[in-house]
Amino acid sequence: MSAVVVIGGGVDGLVAATRLARAGRAVVVVEQRREVGGVCAGGSFGGSFRHTGRWCDTVHFRPALAKELRLTECGLRFVPPADSLAVEADGPGIAWTSDSYKTERDLARRAAGDVDGLARLQAWVERTRPVIEALVDAPPTRLEGSAPLTPLVKQALGMRRMGARDMLELLQVGPAAAEDLLASYVQDPLLRAAMIAPSLLGTRMGPNAPHSAGIWLLYEALTGAYEVDGGPAGLVSALHVAAERAGVRFRLGAAARRVRVEAGAVVAVETSEGDLDSRAVLSAIGPRRTLLDLVDPMLLPSRVVREARALRVRGSWAVIHLGLSGPPQWRSRPGVAFGRVHVGASPTELDRAMDDANAGRLPEKPFLDVRVLPASCAPAGQAALTVQLSCVPYHLEGGWTAEARQRLLDRVLATLAEHAPHLPGQVVASEVLTPRDLEAELGLEGGHPLHGEIALDQLWALRPTPALAGYHTPIKGLFLGSSGTHPGVGRTGASGALAAKALLAGA
Amino acid sequence: MSRLGTTSAPWDAVIVGGGHNGLVCAALLAKAGKKVLVLERRERVGGATLTEEHYPGFRYTVASYVVSLLRPWLWRELDLARHGLQLIPLETSFSPYPDGRSLCRGPDPIATREEIGAFSRRDAEIYPTFGKSMGRLARFVKRFVDQTAPDPTSFRPRDLAQLVGHGRAFRELPDDEEALLTRLLTASATDFLRETFEADELIAPMSCSGIIGTCLGVSSPGTAYVLLHHYMGEIDGASRAWGLARGGNGAVADAIASSAQASGVTIRTSAAVDKILVERERAVGVVLVDGEEIRARTVVSGCEPRLTMLRMVGRDHLPSDYTAGLERYKNRGSSGKVNLSLDFLPEFTCRPGDGHLRGDIAIAPSTAYLEQAFAEAKAGRWSRRPYLNVVIPSLLDRTMAPPGKHVMSIFVQYAPYHLADGPSSWPQHRDAFRDDVLDTLQEYCPRLRDAILHAQVLSPWDLEQELGLTEGNIFHGELTLDQILFQRPVAGWARYKTPVRDLWMCASGTHPGGGVMGAPGGLCAREMLAAGAL
């Protein structure tokens, strides 16, 4: 039996490869870059600084997968999330530290009812968690064709077990606006902004857009209590070890050029470094690129091609790595170190920033998710930061010229200066990755970190498209398994795992 | 209308509000032998289905201006044709563009294909197929419009059977239409249309039907669904046709009122209800503003849910989660109306003549234009260059204006209820608002202002004050995924019942929602009779 070729060595590709190898299949991972990890791979910048991945979150990785793939034996370590801070223009901001009593006191001082509101909201999220986890850990029910709806009915019954009241609330919240949902529990706009902004990173919607509450809830319910030590690079390293131990072989620096098809079935993958015969291919790169670039569209039903073309993959996400001569000093909490800092005043401003991005403008007031990287990422005494920006347009008015990239950096530094006045003067190295750069460097179409916009019409049975949901393609032996497939919300690893399962069942 | 009946009558049902849904509900209850009283605050019935003469000889279809979704079963049961209701189909959809081009979509497929072909050959080819698919989906969705909302939490056999029935019907759709439907329920209007079409000149006017009555933009998720309503129009069974009522939309209310009275309904106008009387957690009647008390076995509100429950009933009588649900209910008015009496028909520079004006005219030149219009609304201003939907009823119905003269109905979006300086500032902005609307239209019809004899301006504030539309929302609550079916108006209370026993709701704030459908009123009456409520 020929080897299964996994195209793309990102998190989902590694998960899929390992699962396949453990099921006894010979597996080759083809990765166009010289290293695995894709958007989660660590790297160096500015000569002496390191980053731990372009995409920063590891809290969504499914714990059950970590267990199944025995990642802790491969060096994975879970740690509690770092202390974080939400800054504001003229005020103390909100700090989340291991001293939760202090955080509560701060919250209560800002808005009397918020501690209670937050607790009620969290309790409700807890109650929805089993329903959402069940949804995420199972392949989507195909709504089309004659496949039985039994799984759907089961899921519906699972929902009913929540009780009528919670179920109705869940059904109502799904299509609502995040701001409407959160505002009914929490008064403080700064708190709401910090809560909502990260969940909209893969969308083009603001917090007042319908359906944003559902997206927020998905992320919230999938957020684990721990993150990976060493960030995304730590996760990638463990996955890489696990894959190698399972016998997965790697072809690094080999870009997949074409999936060769004969009589409707996969026969080989052509790469820049030669061809690999194969009867089974799992593509863990974007579904749109897989179908439109790697496969001859003439071999696909016209509807599949039409839907793939219509798939929205434009990102609104950018990354800036900063090397500082010393640790950042936050004006409202001098001398205190934080691992994560949210910059963004209110949901209204977030909405405006997204409007700017959708109209092709740089946001006046960018929303920043700043990570202060471990000390090992910088020379002694210095500091490395990764800043994730939401609301950055892929199609910028006037194009992403060198001047525009500088303008983005300047705006980010000016924004940071409001909360850490010395920071711009500390910058000794920087790397700016616009959506275009992320596309060029990582092969992310549209610069989208999740290979397809997160929106209700591109989730679950509609992810990547209605005709393609469920990891199969019309080509025998070709499977899709990146986060462009269900579930796709965050780096869960579930897409790769479910795709591997589909391949094993079907091939 | 004269005052009939007496206050001492032992009513089976008293209906608060004589809008078209209240009248439909009254008529059906009376036909079942119940003694029914309708109380209307204004001097005439109709609510937002209203024709009025504000300038001698010129009749405005004041608020709602087209009829499309009036349920066929109500036509039959209420015998509306015999009571004088006549519908005139709208023939065309016309959109002019600032560069002097224009697009007219009409009943002739070959002409329409040529028109669209001028913008995109590909779109012209696909357009008829798309229309057919949408028509089939509209037929699927009609199942929901003509039935009480499903209850997904219920384990009762009747409810489970209903859910299974809907599931089966879904599976019977061809694959590509299932896909289209799921997208339709979840996507934004522009994303949905861009999947099929490429010409922005076509996408922009088509996408507008997705935003009418909501405070959302054409690229806001969830707006695609309302597009379907456009394909649901049915007049005498002919699908995909919107029409005008001869004599304006007031004629709809008059016909239903006439049918209701023929069945024995008593209608009192100039009878404004102040409070709904609740005793021992039951509705037992109403109190009018002049203090008169009218008792009845059941009370049915044909008014907007928040007005009904929070103002007329009062929080004291309501469970807190119901109140919270109502407060969360989005009712943001986003549109206004300008009605004009015209001395002559002002022609469009880009296309003289009137053949293309015998339908609706959309000022929606591009999606960027619509986005800009929405951005202003979000900032608490009306759009300086709004989306306009213009109808000239007098071209199709000579009874609306003197010979050679015309009336023009202009639907304007966005006119947000919540202006930056508060909704009550609308009266002082009314003229500036009107001027922006006229300026917008005048760019295409230079002689518009010369033709104007009289203008009536209705801001969302006016719609609230005059017609009781809370926040000026024309649908009694936005038609978004979280506010339809079993969630309209409050999750778990979508079957016309309320937490107050013997108090029912029958207007657009209940399933299946707004528009001149009559479905909420009709389904409410059915539910009441089935429940043996009176």
Complete edge-to-edge strand list for the sheet that includes strand A280-283? A249-252, A27-31, A4-7, A280-283, A478-480
> Using a CB-CB distance cutoff of 8 angstroms, which residues of chain A are in contact with residue B216?
210
Which percentage of chain B shows pLDDT scores above 90?
A: 79
Q: Give the dihedral sign, CA B524/B525/B526/B527.
A: positive
Contact B186 A180 (CB under 8 A): no
User: In this structure, which amino acid lies at residue B505?
Assistant: M
Residue of A nearest to B186 (CA): A457
Cα dihedral: B164, B165, B171, B172 (round 10): 160
In terms of DSSP bridges, do strands B406-413 and B282-288 run parallel, antiparallel, or are they unpaired? unpaired
Q: How many CB atoms lie within 10 A of CB B403?
A: 7
Q: How many CA atoms lie within 13 A of A176 on its CB side?
A: 23
Could you tell me which of A26, A22, A130 has the C-alpha nearest to residue A70?
A22
How far is CA B24 from each of CA A381, B80, B254, B275, rounded to the nearest angstrom? Answer: 78, 11, 11, 22
Structure tokens at B439: 């300026």
pLDDT band, residue B6 (cuts 50/70/90): very low
d(CA B511, CA B520): 6
Phi, psi angle pair for B100, to nearest 5°: 95, -5
Mean pLDDT of A355-364: 93
Structure tokens at A466: 């209605």
A vs B: CB pairs below 8 A: 105
Residue B213 in contact with partner chain A when CB distance is under 8 A: no
d(CA B471, CA B335): 10
d(CA A183, CA A113): 12
Residue B239 has pLDDT above 60, yes or no: no
Question: What does the pLDDT look like over B60-82, one tens digit per residue?
Answer: 999 999 987 888 899 999 999 99
pLDDT for residue B4: 47
Contact A461 B221 (CB under 8 A): no
Distance from CA of B200 to the nearest CA of A (A): 15
pLDDT for residue B233: 67
Distance from CA of B129 to the nearest CA of A (A): 14
Phi, psi angle pair for B332, to nearest 5°: -70, 110
DSSP string computed for B91-139: --EEEE-TTS-EEEE-S-HHHHHHHHHTT-HHHHHHHHHHHHHHHHHHH
Mean pLDDT of B209-238: 82
Question: What does the pLDDT look like over A22-60, one tens digit per residue?
Answer: 999 999 999 999 999 999 999 999 999 999 999 999 999
Could you tell me which of A392, A350, A418 has the C-alpha nearest to residue A189?
A350
DSSP 8-state code for residue B344: S
Residue with tokens 């009306």: B382
Closest Cβ–Cβ partner in B153, B195, B216 for A168: B153
* B137 within 8 A of B184, measured Cβ to Cβ: yes
pLDDT for residue B2: 40
Best B154, B164, B172, B186 residue to mutate vs chain A (most A CBs within 10 Å): B186
Distance from CA of A171 to the nearest CA of B (A): 7
> Using a CB-CB distance cutoff of 8 angstroms, which residues of chain B are in contact with residue A144?
175, 178-179
A470: left (phi over 0), alpha (psi -120 to 50) or beta: left
d(CA A229, CA A42): 13
DSSP 8-state code for residue B263: T
Contact B482 A310 (CB under 8 A): no
User: In this structure, which amino acid lies at residue B64?
Assistant: S
pLDDT band, residue B160 (cuts 50/70/90): confident
Residue B126 in contact with partner chain A when CB distance is under 8 A: no
Residue B497 has pLDDT above 70, yes or no: yes
Distance from CA of A112 to the nearest CA of B (A): 19
Question: What does the pLDDT look like over B255-289, one tens digit per residue?
Answer: 999 999 999 999 999 999 999 999 999 999 999 99
Homologous superfamily (CATH) of B11-53+61-87+246-330+476-530 is FAD/NAD(P)-binding domain (3.50.50.60)
Best A170, A351, A456, A458 residue to mutate vs chain B (most B CBs within 10 Å): A456
**ipTM for the predicted complex:** 0.89
Closest Cβ–Cβ partner in A205, A355, A457 for B183: A457
Question: What does the pLDDT look like over B93-112, one tens digit per residue?
Answer: 999 999 999 999 998 999 99
Q: What angle do CA B514, B519, B520 make, to 5 degrees?
A: 70
Contact B175 A174 (CB under 8 A): no
> Using a CB-CB distance cutoff of 8 angstroms, which residues of chain A are in contact with residue B182?
143, 457, 461-462, 466
User: Which B residues, 146 through 185, put their C-beta within 8 Å of a C-beta on chain A?
Assistant: 152-153, 167, 170-171, 175-176, 178-179, 182-183
Structure tokens at A505: 């069942």
Helices B175-186, B157-171: inter-axial angle, 10-degree rounding = 120
Residue A342 has pLDDT above 90, yes or no: yes
Structure tokens at B395: 């071209």
Residue A166 in contact with partner chain B when CB distance is under 8 A: no
Mean pLDDT of B419-438: 97
Question: What does the pLDDT look like over A175-184, one tens digit per residue?
Answer: 999 999 999 9
Residue A501 in contact with partner chain B when CB distance is under 8 A: no
Structure tokens at A420: 């850490």
Contact B175 A467 (CB under 8 A): yes
Structure tokens at A170: 């869940």
Question: What does the pLDDT look like over A445-473, one tens digit per residue?
Answer: 999 999 999 999 999 999 999 999 889 99
Contact A172 B487 (CB under 8 A): yes
Residue A465 in contact with partner chain B when CB distance is under 8 A: yes
Which percentage of chain A shows pLDDT scores above 90?
A: 90
* A367 within 8 A of A390, measured Cβ to Cβ: yes
* A13 within 8 A of A31, measured Cβ to Cβ: yes
Instruction: Tell me if residue A277 falls in helix, strand or coil.
Output: strand
* A182 within 8 A of A351, measured Cβ to Cβ: no
Mean pLDDT of B419-433: 97
> Using a CB-CB distance cutoff of 8 angstroms, which residues of chain A are in contact with residue B481?
174-175, 210-211
User: In this structure, which amino acid lies at residue A79?
Assistant: V
* A84 within 8 A of A198, measured Cβ to Cβ: no
Mean pLDDT of B345-358: 96
> Using a CB-CB distance cutoff of 8 angstroms, which residues of chain B are in contact with residue A165?
321, 492
pLDDT band, residue A402 (cuts 50/70/90): very high
DSSP 8-state code for residue B216: -
- In chain B the first and final C-alpha atoms are separated, in Å, by 27
Contact B324 A184 (CB under 8 A): yes
Cα dihedral: B169, B172, B177, B180 (round 10): 40
Q: What is the CA radius of gyration of chain A?
A: 22
Mean pLDDT of B493-522: 95
Residue B142 has pLDDT above 60, yes or no: yes
Task: Please list the residues that pair with A323 across neighbouring strands.
Answer: A384, A429
Residue A379 has pLDDT above 80, yes or no: yes
d(CA B257, CA B273): 19
pLDDT for residue B342: 98
Q: How many CA atoms lie within 13 A of A337 on its CB side?
A: 11
Question: What does the pLDDT look like over B450-492, one tens digit per residue?
Answer: 999 999 999 999 999 999 999 999 999 998 888 988 899 998 8
Residue A463 in contact with partner chain B when CB distance is under 8 A: no
Q: How many CB atoms lie within 10 A of CB B164?
A: 12
DSSP 8-state code for residue B362: E
DSSP string computed for B146-197: TSPPP-TT---HHHHHHHHHHHHHHHTS-HHHHHHHHHHHHS-HHHHHHTT-
Contact B152 A156 (CB under 8 A): yes
User: In this structure, which amino acid lies at residue B366?
Assistant: S
Mean pLDDT of B15-38: 98
pTM equals 0.93
Question: What does the pLDDT look like over A62-100, one tens digit per residue?
Answer: 999 999 999 999 999 999 999 999 999 989 999 999 888
Structure tokens at A490: 């965050």
User: Which B residues, 477 through 496, put their C-beta within 8 Å of a C-beta on chain A?
Assistant: 480-482, 486-487, 491-492
pLDDT band, residue A164 (cuts 50/70/90): confident
d(CA B182, CA A410): 43
Q: What is the CA radius of gyration of chain B?
A: 22
pLDDT for residue A219: 96
Residue A208 in contact with partner chain B when CB distance is under 8 A: yes
> Using a CB-CB distance cutoff of 8 angstroms, which residues of chain B are in contact with residue A306?
195
* B505 within 8 A of B313, measured Cβ to Cβ: no
- With 0-12 / 13-18 / 19 or more C-beta atoms within 10 angstroms meaning exposed / middle / buried, residue B196 is buried
> Using a CB-CB distance cutoff of 8 angstroms, which residues of chain A are in contact with residue B220?
205, 209-210
d(CA A256, CA A165): 50
Q: What average pLDDT does chain B have?
A: 93
Closest Cβ–Cβ partner in A210, A312, A465 for B216: A210
d(CA A125, CA A132): 10
How far is CA A71 from each of CA A129, A238, A240, A467, B205, rounded to the nearest angstrom? Answer: 24, 6, 10, 34, 54
pLDDT for residue A160: 78
Which percentage of chain A shows pLDDT scores above 70?
A: 99
d(CA B290, CA A71): 77
Question: What does the pLDDT look like over B371-382, one tens digit per residue?
Answer: 999 999 999 999
pLDDT band, residue B238 (cuts 50/70/90): low
> Using a CB-CB distance cutoff of 8 angstroms, which residues of chain B are in contact with residue A172?
482, 487, 491
Instruction: Tell me if residue B397 falls in helix, strand or coil.
Output: coil
Task: Please list the residues that pair with B341 across neighbouring strands.
Answer: B407, B454
Residue B328 in contact with partner chain A when CB distance is under 8 A: yes
Residue A101 has pLDDT above 50, yes or no: yes
Residue A313 in contact with partner chain B when CB distance is under 8 A: no
Which residues have CB under 8 Å from A262's CB, separation 6+? none
Could you tell me which of A57, A119, A114 has the C-alpha nearest to residue A340?
A57
Q: Give the dihedral sign, CA B375/B379/B385/B389.
A: positive
Question: What does the pLDDT look like over A145-161, one tens digit per residue?
Answer: 666 777 777 777 777 78
pLDDT for residue B25: 98
Q: How many CB atoms lie within 10 A of CB B158?
A: 9
Residue of B nearest to A307 (CA): B195
* A385 within 8 A of A372, measured Cβ to Cβ: yes
pLDDT for residue B234: 61
Which percentage of chain B shows pLDDT scores above 70?
A: 97
Closest Cβ–Cβ partner in A164, A310, A358 for B153: A164
d(CA A35, CA A301): 35
Could you tell me which of B5, B27, B35 has the C-alpha nearest to residue B252?
B27
User: Which A residues, 421 through 450, put their C-beta within 8 Å of a C-beta on chain B?
Assistant: none
Question: What does the pLDDT look like over A257-276, one tens digit per residue?
Answer: 999 999 999 999 999 999 99
Contact B183 A461 (CB under 8 A): no
Which residues have CB under 8 Å from B401's CB, separation 6+? B57, B58, B59, B341, B342, B394, B407
User: Which A residues, 58 through 87, put their C-beta within 8 Å of a C-beta on chain B?
Assistant: none
- In residues, how long is chain A? 507
Maximal CA-CA distance, chain A: 69
> Using a CB-CB distance cutoff of 8 angstroms, which residues of chain A are in contact with residue B187?
455-457
> Using a CB-CB distance cutoff of 8 angstroms, which residues of chain A are in contact with residue B170?
143
Best B133, B153, B176, B181 residue to mutate vs chain A (most A CBs within 10 Å): B153
pLDDT for residue B9: 52
Q: What average pLDDT does chain A have?
A: 94
Closest Cβ–Cβ partner in A146, A171, A211 for B222: A211
